[in-house]
């Protein structure tokens, strides 16, 4: 049945064109189909690439958003972590240098005795802890200056539990 219909088609072509031309058309019918498929595949490919380009172009915009977010965080400065060891009666280190805008994360480790770490200039203080414990405070160093940090237990400050936070 299929072959019959093909022959009919071929005859139709023959009617419209001369013998030689109809042969080439008939032979060329398969390549034409292939070309047609290639064109369709090509169009699908182009369409797929367009979609891909769209998703690719949308990704940088989210990356830009991410960078803006990072920049927004950068105005607060990086988080700078410090560990301050406290013992009877000293802080180690007893000087901390940071830049204005830095976020400070200070972990106060109590190596010996009952202590705390207080920074009046920033309204920051840890709870009073005991040997082996630690406490963490985090804040943004948003003003320049030299601020004392000290232990407010008894007369520990006078005995030497005092240090300097220098914000430049």
Contact residue for Cu ion among 141, 153, 165, 167 (CB under 5 A): 153
Query: Residue count at the site for Cu ion (CB under 5 A)?
Result: 5
Nearest to 124 by CA among 145, 99, 152, 156: 152
Structure tokens at 37: 């498929």
User: Quick one: 103 or 112, whose CB is closer to Cu ion?
Assistant: 112
Give the nearest distance from C-beta 144 to Cu ion in angstroms: 27
What percent of the chain is helix, strand and coil (3-state, nearest 5)?
A: 45, 30, 25
User: Quick one: 109 or 156, whose CB is closer to Cu ion?
Assistant: 156
Considering only residues 108-137, where is the footprint of Cu ion by CB under 5 A? 115
Pairing of strands 95-98, 162-167: parallel
Distances (CA, A) of 98 to 102, 134, 141: 7, 22, 8
Contact residue for Cu ion among 151, 163, 165, 167 (CB under 5 A): 151
Give the nearest distance from C-beta 153 to Cu ion in angstroms: 4
Contacts to Cu ion by CB under 5 A:
115, 151, 153, 156, 161
């Amino acid at each position: 049945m299929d072959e019959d219909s093909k022959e009919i088609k071929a005859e139709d072509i023959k009617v419209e064109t001369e013998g030689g031309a109809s042969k080439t058309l008939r032979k060329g019918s398969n390549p034409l189909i292939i070309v047609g498929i290639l064109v369709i595949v090509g169009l699908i490919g182009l369409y797929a690439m367009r979609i891909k380009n769209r998703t690719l172009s949308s990704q940088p915009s989210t990356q830009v958003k991410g960078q803006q977010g990072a920049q927004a965080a950068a105005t607060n400065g990086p988080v700078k972590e410090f560990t301050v060891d406290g013992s009877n009666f000293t802080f180690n280190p007893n000087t901390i240098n940071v830049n204005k805008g830095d976020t400070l994360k200070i972990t106060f480790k109590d190596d010996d005795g009952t202590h705390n770490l207080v920074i009046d200039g920033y309204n920051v203080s840890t709870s009073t802890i005991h040997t082996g414990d630690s406490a963490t405070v985090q804040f943004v160093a948003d003003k320049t200056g030299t601020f004392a940090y000290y232990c407010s237990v008894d007369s520990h400050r006078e005995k030497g539990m005092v240090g300097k936070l220098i914000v430049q």
